[in-house]
Amino acid sequence: MDFSDKAVGVRQGEELDTGRVGEYLRECISGLSGDMAVEQFPSGYSNLTYLIKVGKTDLVLRRPPFGRKAKTAHDMGREYRILTALKPVFPYCPEPLLYTEDESVMGCPFYVMERIPGIILRKNPPKGLEFSAEQMKALCENLLDVQFKLHSIDYRAIGLEGFGKPEGYVKRQVQGWSERYRAAKTPDAPDFEYIMQWLGEKMPPESKKPGVIHNDYKFDNVVLNPDNPLEIIGVLDWEMATIGDPLMDLGSSLGYWVQKDDPADFQAARMLPTTLPGALTRDEMVTRYARLAGISIDNFDFYLGFGLFRLAVIAQQIYYRFYHGQTKDERFKLLIFAIHILEQAARRVIKESKM
């Protein structure tokens, strides 16, 4: 049975000019021949991802959302650059093939990369795909191990020294995401002021080992081998990657991590299969990471609290677009409920914290 991730028809209002795009791709990528067809990968809430089929060749095209002009939030060139630098040393990256800022093609910068076909796990595994408790435990360990491999790369050696500013990273993140939340807040959203104040007061010292961080690393951004679903063969969605504190990256990942004993409201917001029998808990993930890194992590409440808050900001920024009629994607309507749930989850972290 084929459990590989599938593209579907393109959403209304997000169509591409297949004639112009096809002509440009054939000009810039050698070996393309045959008719072109376009489909869209339906998940994801930010940059748009399309499956481009030209003859027997499958490509993936990434572009910013329609109606959004802020290049800093949807920087295609930056995403292309990090893939180009990482691919030789981190084989989980898709191979980048083309980047252009020529807006005559589709009205915005975009890039094209190879497609990594395989299984992508979302809220629940595809029907018919089952993991034993032992397999699920191994898969969680593999997920964490690949993230640690990314953090361990010598970013200076691959030309990414200027890709981010590790000095003062945590402070900039807390201040920056707080500003973004206040700017995107709608009347029906919680104010998060208590949580932002706590994060500002509990910031840890600078990381002694900054590294490449993905900033949205989770099950539905990795690709599993169809022939061995315990093996990770790809890591996708690099739009928020930078150089920074690896524990901030881990905290952002575990902000998504709902486990079996979490309260009912947080369970309702689950987007990943992290409640399956055998799945590691957040504490077990942190313990394993500390062992891999050879460090002690006794202040993870801060990183988890930040991860929950940051996820709420991302959801709020997307919901803001829906609230103000900038997008008609009905998926975004329900994000306001997730934002309230994340606020309560962050408050629980703070209440239970010993920091």
pLDDT tens-digit profile of 283-331? 999 999 999 999 999 999 999 999 999 999 999 999 999 999 887 788 8
DSSP state of 304: H
222 is a domain residue: yes
Residues 207 and 301 both lie in one domain = yes
100 is a domain residue: yes
Mean pLDDT (whole number) for 245-258 = 98
- Give the model's pLDDT for residue 180: 97
18: left (phi over 0), alpha (psi -120 to 50) or beta: alpha
CATH code at position 96:
3.30.200.20
Query: Shortest CA distance to 12 belongs to which of 59, 73, 66?
Result: 66
Phi, psi of 229 (to 5 degrees): -65, -5
* For the chain, percent of residues with pLDDT exceeding 70: 97
Residues 170, 113: Cα–Cα separation, whole Å: 31
Residues 293, 312: Cα–Cα separation, whole Å: 28
Residues 235 and 325 both lie in one domain = yes
- Give the model's pLDDT for residue 218: 98
Residues 38 and 176 both lie in one domain = no
Domain count, the chain: 2
Residue with tokens 């440009």: 24
- Give the model's pLDDT for residue 1: 66
H-assigned helices in the chain: 18-28, 76-86, 133-151, 169-184, 193-201, 246-254, 264-268, 282-293, 300-323, 335-352
User: 156-176, pLDDT tens digit by residue?
Assistant: 999 999 898 999 999 999 999
Confirm if 219 and 124 have CB atoms less than 8 A apart. Answer: no
Strand 228-235 to strand 96-100: parallel, antiparallel, or no bridges (unpaired)? unpaired
H-assigned helices in 152-281: 169-184, 193-201, 246-254, 264-268
Residues 87 and 153 both lie in one domain = no
Q: Is the pLDDT of residue 70 over 50?
A: no
138 is a domain residue: yes
Strand 48-54 to strand 110-114: parallel, antiparallel, or no bridges (unpaired)? unpaired
1 is a domain residue: no
Q: Confidence band (pLDDT; 50, 70, 90) for 71?
A: very low
CATH code at position 215:
3.90.1200.10
- Give the model's pLDDT for residue 326: 84
40 is a domain residue: yes
Q: How far is CA 143 from CA 76, 176, 183, 266, 280, in A?
A: 26, 28, 34, 22, 11
Q: How far is CA 248 from CA 8, 201, 255, 309, in A?
A: 34, 16, 10, 12
User: 100-142, pLDDT tens digit by residue?
Assistant: 999 999 999 999 999 999 999 999 999 999 999 999 999 999 9
Mean pLDDT (whole number) for 4-18 = 88
- Give the model's pLDDT for residue 331: 84
Residues 109 and 150 both lie in one domain = no
Residues 214 and 150 both lie in one domain = yes
Confirm if 251 and 307 have CB atoms less than 8 A apart. Answer: yes
Confirm if 275 and 136 have CB atoms less than 8 A apart. Answer: no
Mean pLDDT (whole number) for 11-36 = 90
Residues 198 and 87 both lie in one domain = no
C-alpha R_g of the chain: 20
Residues 178 and 210 both lie in one domain = yes
Residues 258 and 156 both lie in one domain = yes
Which residues constitute the domain of residue 342? 133-352
Q: Confidence band (pLDDT; 50, 70, 90) for 44?
A: low
Mean pLDDT (whole number) for 203-219 = 96
Phi, psi of 68 (to 5 degrees): -115, 120
Residues 151 and 286 both lie in one domain = yes
Given 82, 114, 146, the domain boundary residue is 114
Residues 314 and 170 both lie in one domain = yes
DSSP state of 51: E
| Residue burial 207-236, b: 16+ Cβ < 10 Å; e: rest | beebbbbbbbbbbbbbbbebeebeebbbbb
Residues 152 and 295 both lie in one domain = yes
Query: Shortest CA distance to 164 belongs to which of 153, 151, 155?
Result: 155
120 is a domain residue: no
Angle between helices 246-254 and 169-184 (to 10 degrees): 40
Residues 45, 334: Cα–Cα separation, whole Å: 12
Question: Which residues face 144 on adjacent strands?
Answer: none
DSSP state of 204: P
7 is a domain residue: no
341 is a domain residue: yes
Q: How many CB atoms lie within 10 A of CB 181?
A: 24
